[in-house]
Amino acid sequence: MNQPGTPGFAERASERRAVSVIIPARNEEHNIARCVRSAAAQNNVEEIIVVDDQSTDGTSEILGGLQKGVPALRVVRVDELPDGWLGKCYALATGAAAASGDWLLFTDADTEHLPGSLATLLARAETEGIDLLSVSPGQVTETWWEKAVIPRVYVELARRFRFEDVNAPASPAAAANGQYMLIRREVYERVGGHEAVRNEILEDVALARRVKLKGGRLLFLPGAPWVRTRMYRTFSEMWEGWTKNLYLLYERNLGKILGALAVAWFLDLAAPFVFIALGIWIVLGHASAFTVGAAAACLLATFTEHWRYGQALRSQGFDPRLAAYLLPGAALFAMLLLNSTGIHGWHGSVRWKGRRYSTTDRI
């Protein structure tokens, strides 16, 4: 039998180009209509399955109204969460069980799919024999704290999960972004689907690792041309979300966490503040070759890091002018990473969307 990633496997799965779009939704009244309509406008969509995960806001009513104008839309209601499952994993597994397409597109309710995006990405997956295609959506940032934190986190993640390494079959690196994951149904079932990662907080990365371990081919791309999202609407949501994820994204590795903190503290924060302190000292009449040289070195380091950050932003599809938020972004990122490490390491559980999940009982 052909394994995922082999030519025979790709040929069989590409005979039909029907896609089932699966959207987990828990209290998504601000996002769900835009997401559903943008998905319905795509070619190759056979059905859109929204799994309403015990929403208590207006999500259910909005979905009821959408069904009148979107014939492809089906709504599945989750009334209770079984033991041993995380909410999103169970919603995704429930949607997949109800789906009929040969391709499954798992996408978050806060995403917007740009015209023609699915046809483009599906064609690429089929042409290149890809089993799991994921993109990192373009990020909409409206408030100062979004502009400071979101780009900074994604630049850090790009260092941790290099697209080239994830896409190389010979590399053990594997990653995906759960905001957009297009996977062959046969591959999904072969690796055990979301049931196999049912209590993983980073279910997207865990599923990608299973696909690659089973011989499947991954393609992970910057996704701004095709999908965009605004992840968090309030500071508290952002704080809770990255507290949940950052420690795990650094693989619980204190060495890697300390390295990231050192960059934030010494390159991004210390250099400009030391320059300001030395400048004041010099203006007060205490100039010397050492203080002038140290001030010049700090100024050079500050400008170099600012330029480097702008280039990194550009490579990830962000506006390089967001480098102006480098200082508050570095400070908030360091605080979030410390908080995530402390919560995971000592508290033993994290909170997300009204539920509390253990961080110690993983598969």
Nearest C-alpha neighbor of 36 from the set 6, 9, 73: 73
Distance of CA 183 to the CA centre of its chain: 16
What average pLDDT score do residues 173-192 get? 96
Decide the pairing of beta strands 180-184 and 132-139.
antiparallel
Report how far apart, in Å, the C-alpha atoms of 264 and of each of 149, 238, 239, 259 are: 12, 19, 18, 9
Residue 11 CB contacts under 8 Å (≥ 6 apart), including other chains: none
pLDDT of residue 152: 95
pLDDT of residue 363: 44
Nearest C-alpha neighbor of 163 from the set 154, 173, 149, 153: 173
Over the stretch 205-229, which tens digit does the pLDDT of each residue have? 999 999 999 999 999 999 999 999 9
Three-class SS state of 228 = strand
pLDDT of residue 8: 40
Statement: residue 195 has pLDDT above 80: yes
Backbone angles phi, psi at 5, to 5 degrees: 100, -15
8 Å CB contact between 32 and 40: no
Confidence band, pLDDT 50/70/90 cuts, at residue 252: confident
Place of tokens 């907080």: 201
- What secondary structure does DSSP assign to 77-145, as a single string? EE--PPTT--HHHHHHHHHHHH---SEEEEE-TTEEEPTTHHHHHHHHHHHTT-SEEEEEEEEP--SHH
Over the stretch 96-137, which tens digit does the pLDDT of each residue have? 999 999 999 999 999 999 999 999 999 999 999 999 999 999
Statement: residue 9 has pLDDT above 70: no
Dmax (CA) for the chain in angstroms is: 80
8 Å CB contact between 352 and 202: no
What average pLDDT score do residues 184-197 get? 96
DSSP H helical segments within the chain, as ranges?
7-13, 32-40, 59-69, 87-98, 117-127, 144-160, 163-167, 185-190, 203-213, 235-249, 254-262, 271-283, 289-315, 326-342
pLDDT of residue 10: 39
Q: Which long-range contacts (CB under 8 A, 24 or more apart) does 302-306 make?
A: 302/271, 302/272, 302/275, 305/267, 305/268, 305/271
R_g (Cα) of the chain, nearest Å: 22
- Looking at every residue in the chain, the average pLDDT score rounds to 90
Three-class SS state of 319 = coil
Backbone angles phi, psi at 222, to 5 degrees: -65, 130
pLDDT of residue 94: 97
For residue 292, what are its two tokens?
A: 């002038």
Over the stretch 51-107, which tens digit does the pLDDT of each residue have? 999 999 999 999 999 998 999 999 999 999 999 999 999 999 999 999 999 999 999
Residue 20 CB contacts under 8 Å (≥ 6 apart), including other chains: 46, 47, 48, 49, 95, 96, 99, 100, 101, 103, 104, 105, 185
Q: Which residue has the higher pLDDT, 232 or 281?
A: 232
Statement: residue 159 has pLDDT above 90: no
pLDDT of residue 273: 83
pLDDT of residue 360: 63
pLDDT of residue 290: 82
What average pLDDT score do residues 298-324 get? 91
Statement: residue 163 has pLDDT above 90: yes
What average pLDDT score do residues 281-293 get? 82
Confidence band, pLDDT 50/70/90 cuts, at residue 178: very high
- What secondary structure does DSSP assign to 164-181, as a single string? HHHH-TTS------TTEE
